[in-house]
Amino acid sequence: MRYRTLGRTGIEVSVHCLGTMMFGAIGNPDHDDSARVIHAALDAGINFVDTADMYSAGESEEIVGKALKGRRDDVVLATKVHFRMGEGRNRSGNSRRWIIQAVEDSLRRLGTDWIDLYQIHRPDENTDIEETLSALSDLVHQGKIRAFGCSTFPAEDLVEAHHVAEKRGLLRLRTEQPPYSILARGIERSLLPVCERHGMGVLTWSPLAAGFLSGKYRRTRTVDMTTGRAALQPFRFDPALPENAAKYEAVEQLAELAADLGCSLPELAVAFAATHPAVTSVIIGPRTTDQLEGLLKGARLTLDDATLDRIDEIVPPGTDVYRADAVWTPSSLTDPARRRRPLAERSAA
């Protein structure tokens, strides 16, 4: 296992990070089996574990906490806050009020006194970034978290956050966690260069492109739209939809490339995500030990320049063949009022 420094924090983490979204009700509900996967990852040299409070409504954090008993000091533990947890108001977002409560809940579920990396899961347009940075800075000073970062923030939001931190004398975002795969390379345009410029660590998620690079979905096979990811997100996998044609075409070419290299498509995908110089660690999210072993093969694969050139020909740098993050969209796109002048003003014109 290779290791890299997480931005400028001085913390050394494995190049591949164990993502735990699939542990709990939405993935593997067997706590003991999930713990075995976590232990197998640690035994393989992974020292970086990423979870979130909203994964299976806190169950993932509980599983991780139990699995790390006796091994906590050797693990760099990351979790996240933002999405709604339970009923009622003020139980989501990036406000000081919610962050202070949510971190205590995460510490309790994880069974630990500190979190190594606390991340803001998504932007919050209703909360001033200074409010968020101030709360997170206080948590570092209190010793409850060691560093903090964000996930799936636009490049311009990162620049603003660094400006506010410098202006107000606050600690700054140390990491960003964006989606990144061969089929979703858009972050190469500005986000990754911005992270490099500001010395931020980058841990990427979805190297298998939401399952599309798992090898299961091929143009030559009948896609079962009634089970698994295809049933949950048919818009991503339905071969009858024109917007999916480019994905299926790219997968066929990438599968041929993987065959020429003597590896599987998932191995190629995982290896690719760790190649960019701005990327610190690639999150892999197995549900079972067998899946973990398959993904770790990609962790041992190194891609030469000729292979990367072939990938560039199939999916050019900076290109998104599909929209990687379907969870969050800024209100500037979803709210028509943010995109249209008032009707009275249009009528007058």
What is the Cα 104 distance to its own chain's centre?
22
For 179, the 3-state DSSP assignment is: strand
| Residue 4 φ then ψ, to 5° | -135, 160
Cα Rg for the chain, rounded, in angstroms?
A: 20
DSSP class of residue 166?
H
CB neighbourhood size of 220 (10 A):
7
Which listed residue (55, 118, 217, 322) is catalytic?
55
Helix runs in 240-326, H state only: 245-261, 265-273, 289-299, 305-314
In order, the DSSP letters of 19-66 are: E-TTBSTTSB--HHHHHHHHHHHHHTT--EEE--TTGGGGHHHHHHHH
Beta-carbon contacts of 51 under 8 Å, excluding residues fewer than 6 positions away, are: 19, 20, 21, 60, 61, 64, 77, 78, 79, 80, 110
Whether residue 180 lies in the annotated active site: no
Burial class (CB in 10 A: 0-12, 13-18, 19+), 72: middle
What is the Cα 272 distance to its own chain's centre?
16
Catalytic site positions = 55
